[in-house]
Amino acid sequence: MSAPDVSLLEPDRLESARDAALAALAATGALDELPAVRTAHLGDRSPIALARRAIGGLPGPEKAEAGKRLNVVLQVVQAAYDERRTELEADRDVRVLAEETVDVTALPGRLPVGARHPLTTIQERAVDVFVAMGWELAEGPEVEHEWFNFDALNFGKDHPAREMQDTLFLGPEDSGLVMRTHTSPVQVRSLLTRDLPVYVVVPGRVYRADALDATHSPVFAQLEGLAVDEGITMAHLRGTLDAFASAMFGEGLKTRLRPSYFPFTEPSAELDLQCFACRGASAEPGGEPCRVCSSEGWIEVGGCGMVNPAVLRAAGVDPERYSGFAFGMGLDRAVMFRHGVTDIRDLYEGDQRFTLPFGTEG
């Protein structure tokens, strides 16, 4: 180790070390610059620290003198340092208080209001039409037991709808659970849980093992209706469907039934709605072509019929006393026609860019 430099203890050397420290402290403008200034002027390798180490190299009588001088300088510098730190901390506190002020009287920014999904809107409008006729809203689970989805609805054990390629079965293999393939199981649930007569309308999502493309989606929306009362006839079914078509799509819009087959209705029919774009005119001789119905004049919307007595029996209802009608229709195509949506995937991908333009229409 080199010999201590005792000249550091000379009064003018100490004074210049002090003055340099005071000048540096005075020039320090921010709290985060302070540690470096401290290291330079009070740290282990600062002139003041080196001078302190040099004291041992002085002859005895001079030690006390030099020690006193050094202590005075040290105290002055340390005090200046403490004072500067206090000032800078105060500056910072004032600045932070000003910067972080919260104006509790300020008006909040506009909250993004989002948009209603057009499927939700059409479901609500459809349900409203039935509620206005005195019907009730019913709902059921999307994960459904096979018994409700098939057996109670009179599907035979080997009905093709039970095949894997149509139905999404849920594991484990013997769980008996499927993703409901239609809203019809809610017919049975409603009859089992409600007092007769029953008039229910059931909107909901349903699932099929369909590949996804522009016109097919493994999830889609249906609207189911069920009326079970004494003396219900097919005339009630027709009248109800006509009233619904007029209320939803315009006064006088007609419905058409074509013979069909469903296990849970007898007789059964396909339900067609007069095209709400051309109102059937495109199918008349000389009519303008219509893209909505491909100039058919009619649009297939679903199925309907008189509730099969086997379904009533499965739900504990006496078919000798009660009869009923039911219908089920898809809502996706109605939304797509109405809003010019050409790809069904847009309805299910949850992309806000699709829904936002619909705003909050009620």
Beta bridge partners of 262: 265
Shortest Cβ distance from residue 226 to ligand DAH (Å)?
A: 7
Contacts of 282 (CB under 8 A, 6+ apart): 275, 288, 289, 290, 293, 295, 296, 297
Contact 191, 312 (CB under 8 A): yes
Beta bridge partners of 206: 220
Shortest Cβ distance from residue 260 to ligand DAH (Å)?
A: 8
Instruction: Choose which of 144, 146, 151, 224 interacts with ligand DAH (CB under 6 A).
Output: 224
Burial (Cβ within 10 Å: 0-12, 13-18, ≥19) of residue 100: exposed
How would you classify the pairing of strands 219-229 and 323-330?
Answer: antiparallel
Angle value at C-alpha 252, between 205 and 203, nearest 5 degrees: 10
Shortest Cβ distance from residue 303 to ligand DAH (Å)?
A: 3
Residues 304-323 that bind ligand DAH (CB under 6 A): 304-305
Shortest Cβ distance from residue 225 to ligand DAH (Å)?
A: 7
Shortest Cβ distance from residue 272 to ligand DAH (Å)?
A: 13
Instruction: Choose which of 81, 298, 327, 354 interacts with ligand DAH (CB under 6 A).
Output: 327
Q: Which is nearer to ligand DAH, 24 or 241 (CB)?
A: 241
Helix locations, 227-269, DSSP H: 234-249
- Token pair for residue 145? 């037991």
Q: Which is nearer to ligand DAH, 203 or 302 (CB)?
A: 302
Residues 118-147 that bind ligand DAH (CB under 6 A): none
Shortest Cβ distance from residue 323 to ligand DAH (Å)?
A: 13
**Piece in contact with ligand DAH (CB under 6 A), picked from 3-11, 55-63, 326-334, 350-358:** 326-334
Contact 198, 191 (CB under 8 A): yes
Closest-CA residue to 325 (of 254, 262, 273, 253)? 262
Q: Which is nearer to ligand DAH, 70 or 257 (CB)?
A: 257
Q: 311 to each of 96, 204, 257, how far by Cα in Å?
A: 73, 21, 22
- Token pair for residue 64? 């006390």
Binding mask of the shown chain, residues 150 to 189, with x at each position contacting ligand DAH by CB under 6 A: --------------------------------x-x-----
Residues 253-272 that bind ligand DAH (CB under 6 A): 262, 265
**Count of residues in the chain:** 362
Alpha-carbon gap, residue 88 to 71, rounded angstroms: 25
Q: Which is nearer to ligand DAH, 34 or 161 (CB)?
A: 161
Binding mask of the shown chain, residues 182 to 221, with x at each position contacting ligand DAH by CB under 6 A: x-x-------------------------------------
Instruction: Choose which of 280, 297, 324, 328 interacts with ligand DAH (CB under 6 A).
Output: 328
Helix, strand, or coil (residue 130): helix
Residues 287-306 that bind ligand DAH (CB under 6 A): 302-305
Residue 27 CA, distance from chain mean position: 55
Count of residues that interact with ligand DAH, criterion CB under 6 A: 12
The verdict on 326 binding ligand DAH (CB under 6 A) reads: yes
Which residues bind to ligand DAH, rule: CB under 6 A?
182, 184, 224, 262, 265, 302-305, 326-328
